[in-house]
Amino acid sequence: MNNRETELTENLDEVKAEVADAAFRCGRKADEIKICAVSKLHPASDIEMLYRAGHRCFGESYVQEALAKQEELSGLDIDWHFIGGLQSKKARQVAGMFSAIHSVDSSKLAGLLNRRAAELGVVQNIFIQVNTAGEEQKSGVGEESLPALVEELLGLENLKLVGLMALPPFFDDPEGARPYFARLRMLAEGMEKLFDIRIPELSMGMTGDFRVAIEEGSTMVRVGTKIFGRRPGY
């Protein structure tokens, strides 16, 4: 095991320990929370090292980079998640290529993904990205438009709504993000009651605030810097 592999493995173990501790402190089980290692802008070799350490779930944000890594690592049974903003013109490229797409925020995008998934004969898992803070610079459907989008998705045969995702505003103190995490959980519960469905996943919490997100019900935390270190060029 080389120095980089040792570093990555130790970082991942530290994150796992923090997730377990956060879960224990709020009466949850660690295995209720999946760690999505955000590998964007890091080399495929880093992913392969963590794969050897037993990790399977990786998140990518840029379509071309993600597809290139998938090709390079095609022999590995990696659980790929697309977590970045997704332009409509890229929808055909990602449908059927990821275990889940976390950033669906419009009926147009949903329709494009559904049509491509139908062509491929697959059912694509998706998360709806909700802009819980109403930030103009961020993607995500507004709360007032969420019920209509959920209703539309439920009518698309080749998409499966598995969860909601949110990116709260950045706070130096992670407690600042708590209301936004709590709001996403309440929105999921509201949609479950409104449509008599189950929305099992909440994708929320990153390196700086995942402990708070877990306390508010996150089932998947997206952790990059704490595992891989700073991204090249940042």
pLDDT in tens, 98-108: 999 999 999 99
Task: Return the pLDDT at 109.
Answer: 97
Residue 204 in any domain: the answer is: yes
Number of domains forming the structure of the chain: 1
Helix (H) or strand (E) holding 148: helix 146-154
Tell me the CA distances in angstroms from 183 to 46, 65, 155, 209, 213, one per residue in order.
35, 32, 25, 15, 11
**Type of residue found at 201:** E
The total number of residues written for the chain in this structure:
234
Q: What is the DSSP letter of 173?
A: S
CATH of the domain at 127: 3.20.20.10
Q: Is the pLDDT of residue 234 over 70?
A: no
Q: Is the pLDDT of residue 217 over 90?
A: yes
Q: What is the rounded distance in angstroms from the CA atom of residue 219 to the CA atom of residue 166?
A: 12
Residue 231 in any domain: the answer is: no
pLDDT one-digit tens code per residue, 146-182: 999 999 999 999 999 999 999 998 899 999 999 999 9
Q: Which domain holds residue 129?
A: 3-221
pLDDT one-digit tens code per residue, 106-144: 999 999 999 999 999 999 999 999 998 877 777 899 999
Residue 151 in any domain: the answer is: yes
234 or 197, greater pLDDT:
197
Confidence of residue 231 (pLDDT cuts 50, 70, 90): confident
Residue 44 main-chain phi, psi, to 5 deg: -60, -30
Q: 13: which residues sit within 8 A by CB, 6+ positions away?
A: none
Confidence of residue 66 (pLDDT cuts 50, 70, 90): very high
Task: Return the pLDDT at 233.
Answer: 62
Bridge partners for 128 per DSSP: 104, 164
List the structure tokens of 52. Answer: 């050897």
pTM of the model: 0.96
Of 196, 88, 84, residue with least CA distance to 150: 196
Residue 202 in any domain: the answer is: yes
| Average pLDDT value over all residues in the chain | 96
Residue 229 in any domain: the answer is: no
Angle at which helix 178-195 crosses helix 146-154, to 10 degrees, equals: 50
